[in-house]
């Protein structure tokens, strides 16, 4: 993983926020600080900014830098995946106007 943070694609934010809001159990594949693929599971309890980086925090205390995420619940984090995810949740628009 690059030490310089790269902004994530905007389509991933609503998916992560929705998972946090509805306390969905998530399995996240990401690159650790040694560029090794790692998997963590848990409920997203917060998404924070720290020194211009963005992290999610799982209920088990694991912190994952958002630009290191490769997959969420077995699906590659692509714009198409996020669009399908929101279509399945019956959202009217993508990205959604709200997270009701």
Find the CATH number of the domain harbouring 59.
2.30.30.100
34 inside domain: yes
pLDDT in tens, 5-47: 776 766 778 888 889 999 999 999 999 989 999 999 999 999 9
pLDDT at 2 over 70: no
d(CA 78, CA 80): 5
68 inside domain: yes
6 inside domain: no
Kind of pairing between the strands at 69-72 and 75-76: antiparallel
d(CA 62, CA 19): 16
pLDDT in tens, 37-84: 999 999 999 999 888 889 999 999 999 999 899 988 887 776 555 555
Domain of 24 in residue numbering reads as 12-88
pTM metric for this prediction = 0.73
Residue 49 CA neighbour count, 13 Å, CB half = 6
Taking alpha carbons only, the member of 90, 26, 17 closest to residue 62 is 26
User: How many structural domains is the chain composed of?
Assistant: 1
4 inside domain: no
């Amino acid at each position: 993983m690059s030490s310089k943070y790269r902004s994530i694609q905007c389509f991933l934010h609503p998916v992560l926020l929705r998972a946090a809001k509805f306390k969905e159990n998530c399995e996240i594949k990401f690159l650790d600080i040694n560029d090794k693929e790692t998997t963590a599971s848990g409920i997203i309890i917060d998404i924070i900014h720290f020194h211009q980086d963005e992290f999610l925090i799982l209920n088990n205390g694991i912190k994952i830098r958002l630009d290191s995420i490769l997959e969420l619940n077995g699906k590659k984090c692509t714009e198409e995946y996020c669009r399908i995810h929101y279509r399945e949740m019956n959202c009217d628009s993508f990205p959604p106007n709200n997270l009701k």
